[in-house]
Amino acid sequence: MRRCLLVCGLATLFLLVAVSSASADKPVKFPGPSVTTLLPEGACGFPVQLEVLSSSTQIKIFSNGVVMGTGETLAVLHRLDAAGNPVTSLPINLSGPGKIVGQPDGSAVISGGGPWLVITTAADPIGAGLRYSRGRITVGITPTGLVSSLAVDGNVRDVCADIA
């Protein structure tokens, strides 16, 4: 009986480890954000609000730490007046797709394709702006979360100028 308990206990432990290992290989999935938010001050020199109209974006976090996003996100950028009311608006497609890969030093590399909005302020080494890109994109992020580099194989548009 004692031997049966030991064997059954070890078998149960083995199954638990096997199941947890198998589930660790499956990515954690959740829907992308569907929010309205103020963008960081200083991106354009005036207040800008991002309003997500619709999103089918799925975020996946893999056991190795890689984060991937796929799906369609449609949004509107609003330039706000001093009272917080929209003055001008610009519809944008933020569908990506893309992935984030963390680096050993705590920095990260974001890479993707399609339409992207890169939001930066004066604190970022590449300077302030709202850069809307289409094409292949690579963004370097410092360990402190600043945007250190931006490379686009495609076109880039200054949307601050578009909504000014």
* pLDDT for the residue 15: 32
Percent of the chain beyond pLDDT 70? 85
Domain total of the chain: 1
Q: Is residue 2 part of a domain?
A: no
Q: Is residue 86 part of a domain?
A: yes
Question: 143, 64, 126: which is closest to 99 by C-alpha?
Answer: 64
Q: Residue 5: pLDDT above 50? A: no
* pLDDT for the residue 49: 97
Q: Which two tokens stand for residue 11?
A: 């078998």
* pLDDT for the residue 126: 95
Question: What's the whole-number mean pLDDT along residues 132-157?
Answer: 96
Range of the domain at 147: 26-163
Q: Is residue 19 part of a domain?
A: no
- Whole-prediction pTM value? 0.79
Q: Residue 113: pLDDT above 80? A: yes
* pLDDT for the residue 33: 84
Q: Is residue 3 part of a domain?
A: no
Work out the pLDDT band at 3, boundaries 50, 70, 90.
very low
pLDDT tens per residue across span 71-106: 999 999 999 999 999 999 999 999 989 999 999 999
The residues, ordered by sequence, that sit 6+ positions from 120 with a Cβ below 8 Å of its Cβ are 43, 126, 127, 128, 129, 130, 131, 147
The residues, ordered by sequence, that sit 6+ positions from 74 with a Cβ below 8 Å of its Cβ are 52, 53, 54, 55, 91, 92, 93, 94
Q: Is residue 7 part of a domain?
A: no
Q: Is residue 15 part of a domain?
A: no
- Cα separation, 108 vs 112, in Å, equals 13
Percent of the chain beyond pLDDT 90? 80
